[in-house]
Amino acid sequence: MINTFFNFLQTIWDKRQLIVVMTRREIKAQYVGSFLSFFWTIIHPMVMITVFWFVFSIGFKSKPLNDVPFVVWLAAGMAPWYCFSDILGGATHTITANAHLIKKTLFHAQILPVIRLFSGLVTHAVFLIVLLGLIVLQQLPVSFFYLQFLYYTFCLCMLVIGLAWIVSALNVFARDVAQIVGVTLQIGFWGTPIFWDIQIMPATVQFWLKLNPMFYVVQGYRDSFINFVPFWHHPMYTLYFWVLTILLCGTGIFVFSKLKSEFADVL
């Protein structure tokens, strides 16, 4: 089994140039025939943040949290979640959408979720630029803690790729998986403290909500851009996150390796 894991990861490393080429193609394919082209990558997060800011700040009169404008607090939470849901939702269909490649005997299917990961990170980078723009406009302090987001982005990548290998493989055999992922992402969107502060919940409820690994990432982004809290201030929760994430990555590699030989027949 250990050899299977190492071979799986070695293949991804060996195909890194192909991953880069296919990632570029996927990004370009998203905007084929579009007049605004890559600008839509900027427009989407800006419109999303503006709509939610209007609803919660203007409609529901949400107040600044710890002297931080609500729109900045909201954007810092939405940035990682938007990236996570975009990658996982797209990766669910990546095998079935590339059936023509899967049927080629020399093609290594495990790189497809990785390609979806990298293309999602491009959009994420644009979202972060929007977030930094909001921070500048609101005249909030700048700190070296901003660089900590790289650690939490790595956390996000490891978590989502493990899940992506699982759901993309299972979706080949049961297309209901895509529907389940969509519903789960909707529940997770509202269950993760993106629009509300977890401190308003009782301690018992907070404990259960923090079992969601995306809370660690979302809070980490806020700690990096707003609160300036180092990740090592949460040692037990950091340990919990990495144990869970490593288990998910291992499960993803195992499931994908076991099922990929049957992809071509099913597709």
Q: Tokens representing 255?
A: 């499931």
What residues make up the domain containing 42? 8-266
Query: Would residue 3 count as lying in a domain?
Result: no
Q: Please check whether residue 1 lies inside any domain of the structure.
A: no
Pick from 78-87, 105-114, 212-221: least confident: 105-114
Higher pLDDT, 21 or 8: 21
| Closest to 31 (Cα-Cα) out of 119, 106, 107, 98 | 119
> Taking 90 as the threshold, does the pLDDT of residue 138 lie above it?
no
230 in a domain, yes or no? Answer: yes
| pLDDT-based confidence at residue 113 (cuts at 50, 70, 90) | very high
Of the two residues 266 and 246, the one the predictor is more confident about is 246
Please determine, for residue 215, whether its predicted confidence score (pLDDT) is greater than 90. Answer: yes
CA separation for the pair 100, 11 (Å, rounded): 20
Any domain includes 234:
yes
Residue of 116, 125, 126 lying closest to 90 (CA atoms): 116
107 found inside a domain: yes
Q: Across 8-17, 44-53, 74-83, which has the greatest mean pLDDT?
A: 74-83
Question: 45, 130 in Cβ contact below 8 A?
Answer: yes
Residue 105: pLDDT band with limits 50, 70, 90: low
Q: Yes or no: say if 157 and 121 are a contact pair by the CB < 8 Å rule.
A: yes
Considering 10-24, 27-41, 222-236, 240-254, the range whose residues carry the highest mean pLDDT is 240-254
In a domain, 257, yes or no: yes
Confidence of residue 264 (pLDDT cuts 50, 70, 90): confident
Amino acid (1-letter code) at residue 41:
T
Task: Report which DSSP code applies to 241.
Answer: H
Residue 33 in this model has a pLDDT that exceeds 60: no
pLDDT band at 131 (very low <50, low <70, confident <90, very high): confident
Q: Which of 80-84, 121-125, 207-211 reaches the highest mean pLDDT?
A: 80-84
* pLDDT reported for residue 219: 93
Candidate ranges 9-18, 25-34, 111-120; pick with highest mean pLDDT: 111-120
Q: Are 79 and 127 in contact (CB under 8 A)?
A: yes
- If one counts every other C-beta atom within 10 angstroms of the C-beta of residue 233, the result is 10
251 domain-assigned: yes
Q: What is the mean pLDDT of the chain?
A: 85
State how many domains the chain has.
1
pLDDT of 148 higher than 90: yes
Please give the Cα distance from 201 to 190 (Å, whole number).
Answer: 14
Q: Residue 57's pLDDT is what? A: 63
Does residue 2 fall inside a structural domain? no
